[in-house]
Structure 1
Amino acid sequence: MKKTLALLSFLFVVFVLAGCGANEQKEEQKESQKAPSGDLAPLEEEATVVIAEDGAASGAGFYIAEEKGYFDDYNIDIKFTTFANSDDMLPALAAGEVDIAGGVSTASFFNAIAQGIDVKIIADKGHYYDGNSYFSFVIREDLQGEIKDYADLKGKRIAVSSKNAVDDYIYHRMLDHAGLTEDDVELVLMSDFGNMLAAMGNKSIDAALQIEPLITQGESEGLHVRFGDATDYAPDAQIAMVLGSPSFVEKETDVSLRFMAAYLKGVRDYNDAFLHDDGLDEVIDIMTKHTALKDPEIWKKVGVTGLDPNGEMFVDDIKKQFEMYDANGAISGDIDFNDAVDTSMTEKVLEIIGRYEK
């Protein structure tokens, strides 16, 4: 009888423990369903986020997050839209017709903000990787023996795509580094980067501030060679920024917080791929789908856009760019950068998903 009671007691304990284990497993499954991302739970109702993006390589964080389901994890539906120019895009962003956009530093961009177009600069969307910049100077292939240092650009014809824009800013940083002035060189404004290749071919220019993949293309065709690297004189240059609609950033906080978490996860995969060769083929497949560069092999050769995996920007450099345009007389009005730059959302996300430390 005692043996029977002991056996029944043992079976009862086993049953209870099994039941507890099953309950714990069910709770874990429920939690997993609540937060498939492993951090924030998905939105109760699907939210649509409209991104103004034209297939630029600097939009990699958006593309990767979309293709790898990071936005889906938060119940966010992404819609991409394009604008002919930023003059149309910025008012739409300020009005909340667009939630997120990519922007580059230009006098007209700052003028729009100074004149009351309210947009927020919220995260990095383009900077330089040390020694392999995607936007840097090249010189004609036949001038390698003559131009060995930046100071040797004195008297040369240098093509730059625009005035009072980030291109102009990088150009002047290079001149300062070389100990040259505007009068020491001949600036050739050439808005189309593709035309710079032709100008190299017919020897009508000696150097150019060129962009990938045309840097790599020109090298393969024997038209030019990469000259130094932009990190020699502008290591902290902020080339492009993620812009947010004020209503999206400040009012739709549940959505914007999750959006930024997904975006940074996409950017981290990008860094893993191009800096650490982790998942490179998958990321290149995504980039060939969303950008104009369709050759996977060229993706392995080009200098890629720098994207900060923690979303951090060189805010002081953004201010320096504004100051240069202002000194040139290209700015009408002033900007409160404490209001225009809003990194609060990115900072909150880092508290949740942690910092990227690779």
Structure 2
Amino acid sequence: MKKFTILYVLPLLLFVLILSGCSSGQSDQAGDEDQSNDKVTNEVNENNPSGDLAPLEEKVTVVIAEDGSASGAGFYIANEKGYFEDYNIEVEFAQFANSDDMLPALAAGEVDIAGGVSTASFFNAIAQGINVKIIADKGHNIKGDSYFSFVIRNDLKGEIEEYSDFKGKRIAVSSQNAVDDYIFHRMLEYAGLTEEDVEFVLMSDFGNMLASIGSGSVDAALQIEPLITQGIQQGIHSRFGDATDYAPEAQIAMVLGAPDFIKKETDVSLRFMAAYLKGVRDYNDAFIKGEGTDEIIDIMTEYTALKDPKIWKEVAVTGLNPNGEMFIEDIKKQYKMYKKNGAIRGEIDFDKAIDTSITEKAAEIIGEYEK
């Protein structure tokens, strides 16, 4: 991210004074610095382009690591609707194959923001010293309408009527020691089953799951949208229950921040988060309230691999909290499961790894979301 010079004058002077032994005035000067920063970040005026915070004095580029997933909707919408521009922020998207590849670049400050999917490798990287901050929601299931849920072969609809009926069945799951595996185990627990009661089929490609259901080589799969909807339309499978039946607060993905971006560039990161939440709120307006849906679908078709607007109107969409709130206790539960399985070396101090202060402050500034 491009750096300002004006905001570092006071900290530099304070550092010189401290080295000069001016400890008697240290607390007063630190207080002045805090007040100056507060003035920069907290002054709200409806006459500003954003309707709240003033734009930055100089344009700043914020680099977002993204893989084109639907859960990046808040970034895409905020960019297209000018919310970042209102704060004099320009965003640059850096493409990565997956969230694990983003972590070293994020920790090194090469990118400022990224999306992280809950996996053992993600937590293991943090436990091994990769310093990133978990700051906001970037994906969860909407109650009763999960975008990430089980499907069964159509010819088994009369045979599988309860979760306990998965006993003896071949079930495809895309990963082990990741959120998919976590949801799978939550289902088994809910059904009163154990791992030995079913045949776990590791299948990393969701497209292959669809084909395997169609060929009859697996009986059920933990599938994702838009393949859930497409498989239903093609008569290949049926949605079975909903992931929120047994994992109502599963945190699937999180917004991650580079430590310096969150802690040192608060004038920028606060504005960035305010713009992001505005984008998320437009997303909720479109897919939850049905307001401005066509405009938002146009944006989503531009940024994601799902290019068919008609499918967007049928799919169960990723849940995105309009205040950026996460299911923090669930994040810890997932970590404990991976740890128990021996997939994580070391420990995570979640009080340090999770920092929602910028998100909470941004939500307060832009106001309460009307549900």
TM-score by length of 1: 0.90
- The amino acid of 1:88's aligned partner reads D
- The amino acid of 1:255's aligned partner reads V
Gap change, CA 1:87 and 1:282, over 3 Å in 2: closer
3-state SS of paired residue (2:63): strand
Query: Highest CA radius of gyration, 1 or 2?
Result: 1
TM-score by length of 2: 0.87
Gap change, CA 1:173 and 1:33, over 3 Å in 2: closer
> Is 2:112–2:258's contact at 8 Å kept on the other side of the alignment?
yes
Q: Which residue of 2 aligns with 1:345?
A: 358
Superposed CA deviations along residues 287-311 of structure 1, whole A, max 9, x for unmatched, are 0010000111110000000000000
- The amino acid of 2:240's aligned partner reads F
Indicate yes or no: 2:112 matched with 1:112.
Answer: no
- Displacement of 1:357 after TM fit? 3.2
3-state SS of paired residue (1:208): strand
- Displacement of 1:112 after TM fit? 0.4
Hey, what's the Cα distance between the residues in 2 that align with 1:87 and 1:79?
19
In structure 1, stretches of 5+ residues that fail to align are: 1-30
Q: Which residue of 1 aligns with 2:201?
A: 188
- The amino acid of 1:130's aligned partner reads K
Hey, what's the Cα distance between the residues in 1 that align with 2:345 and 2:355?
22
Indicate yes or no: 2:298 matched with 1:267.
Answer: no
Superposed CA deviations along residues 254-311 of structure 1, whole A, max 9, x for unmatched, are 0000000000000000000001111000000000010000111110000000000000
Indicate yes or no: 2:59 matched with 1:51.
Answer: no
Q: Which residue of 1 aligns with 2:301?
A: 288
> Is 2:100–2:116's contact at 8 Å kept on the other side of the alignment?
no
In structure 2, stretches of 5+ residues that fail to align are: 1-43
Q: How does 1:35-184 map to 2 (within 5 A)?
A: 35-184=48-197
3-state SS of paired residue (2:211): helix
- Displacement of 1:34 after TM fit? 6.2
Paired residue for 2:345, among 324, 332, 335?
332
- The amino acid of 2:309's aligned partner reads P
- The amino acid of 2:125's aligned partner reads A
> Is 2:67–2:97's contact at 8 Å kept on the other side of the alignment?
no
3-state SS of paired residue (1:187): strand
Paired residue for 2:226, among 213, 225, 243?
213
Indicate yes or no: 2:241 matched with 1:225.
Answer: no
Hey, what's the Cα distance between the residues in 1 that align with 2:261 and 2:75?
16
> Is 1:55–1:291's contact at 8 Å kept on the other side of the alignment?
yes
3-state SS of paired residue (2:359): helix
> Is 1:128–1:236's contact at 8 Å kept on the other side of the alignment?
yes
Paired residue for 1:318, among 331, 336, 339?
331
3-state SS of paired residue (2:109): coil
> Is 2:67–2:98's contact at 8 Å kept on the other side of the alignment?
no
Superposed CA deviations along residues 177-202 of structure 1, whole A, max 9, x for unmatched, are 00000000000000000000110111
Hey, what's the Cα distance between the residues in 1 that align with 2:101 and 2:243?
31
Hey, what's the Cα distance between the residues in 1 that align with 2:304 and 2:48?
31
Gap change, CA 1:171 and 1:42, over 3 Å in 2: same
> Is 2:226–2:315's contact at 8 Å kept on the other side of the alignment?
yes
- Displacement of 1:87 after TM fit? 4.1
> Is 1:34–1:42's contact at 8 Å kept on the other side of the alignment?
no
Name the count of aligned residue pairs: 328
Superposed CA deviations along residues 123-145 of structure 1, whole A, max 9, x for unmatched, are 00001111110000000011000
Deviates more, 1:133-142 or 1:85-94: 85-94
Q: Which residue of 1 aligns with 2:290?
A: 277
- Displacement of 1:213 after TM fit? 0.1
Q: Which residue of 2 aligns with 1:297?
A: 310
Hey, what's the Cα distance between the residues in 2 that align with 1:281 and 1:297?
10
